[in-house]
């Protein structure tokens, strides 16, 4: 048991898939895992452990933003011996070249966030995926016939902003989309010597106003879920 996760030692697998939404974690666990067991529900942030194609996997929620995923991923890595975390989430496209439901395997996360600097004294505004999970996701996508785009993304500390311009840090690193968690996850993994990757489905295109509904965000992201699960069994 950690401060924010009530699972006992041994109830969390070495590989964890981490969507932001607790209901998405529940949906994936109940529809894809064999014999899923609810191992934590502190603050209604749900964690399930079960098996997928014979591999023990935990699926839980990270909440929204760097502070939240920073807490959950740190406790998973340090209190439960987790070796790999794959964040699975949605993102908003900055570019019209992206389409709704495109899948991005994140190369680097650029951010204005001070998380890495103040938590671990890691300088700079760009964090890279950690370990071999990124490559395994690419390999698995090819095997499954899923088209994956390898892009830099912007991890934003804010959801609503006055200016509609693409933020400078996103332009600096050629970020095609924006989300809110990858930067902190990668920073924790780098500091702790763990593995981390992020797979995102494009849920809206900012320049055009296209978007998918909240219900679709929960249930219609099957390709990303299956890609993450099939990659996870190789880790």
User: CA-to-CA distance for 77 and 224, rounded, in angstroms?
Assistant: 23
> Does the active-site annotation cover 204?
yes
Name which of 103, 192, 100 is nearest 146 in CA terms: 103
Annotated active-site residue in 21, 125, 204, 230: 204
Task: Please report how many Cα atoms fall inside a 13 Å half-sphere around the Cα of residue 80, on the Cβ side.
Answer: 32
User: CA-to-CA distance for 197 and 127, rounded, in angstroms?
Assistant: 11
Residue numbers annotated as active site: 204
């Amino acid at each position: 048991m950690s401060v924010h996760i009530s699972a006992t030692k041994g109830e969390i697998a070495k590989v964890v898939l981490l969507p932001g939404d607790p209901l998405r974690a529940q949906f994936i666990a109940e529809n894809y895992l064999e014999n899923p067991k609810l191992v934590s529900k502190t603050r209604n942030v749900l964690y399930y452990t079960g098996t997928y194609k014979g591999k023990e996997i935990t699926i839980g929620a990270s909440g929204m933003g760097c502070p939240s995923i920073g807490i959950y991923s740190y406790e998973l890595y340090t209190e439960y011996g987790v070796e790999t975390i794959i964040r699975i989430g949605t993102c908003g496209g900055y570019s019209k070249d992206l389409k709704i439901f495109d899948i991005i395997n994140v190369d680097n996360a650029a951010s204005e966030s001070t998380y890495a600097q103040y938590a671990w004294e890691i300088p700079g505004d760009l964090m890279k995926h950690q370990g071999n999970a990124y490559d395994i996701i690419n390999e698995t996508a090819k095997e499954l016939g899923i088209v994956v785009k390898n892009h830099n993304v912007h991890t934003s500390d804010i959801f609503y902003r006055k200016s509609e311009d693409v933020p400078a840090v996103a332009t600096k690193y050629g970020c095609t989309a924006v989300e809110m968690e990858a930067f902190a996850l990668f920073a924790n993994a780098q500091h702790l010597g763990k593995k981390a990757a992020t797979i995102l489905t494009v849920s809206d295109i900012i320049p055009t106003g296209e978007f998918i509904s909240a219900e679709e965000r929960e249930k219609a992201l099957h390709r990303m879920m299956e890609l993450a699960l099939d990659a996870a069994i190789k880790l």
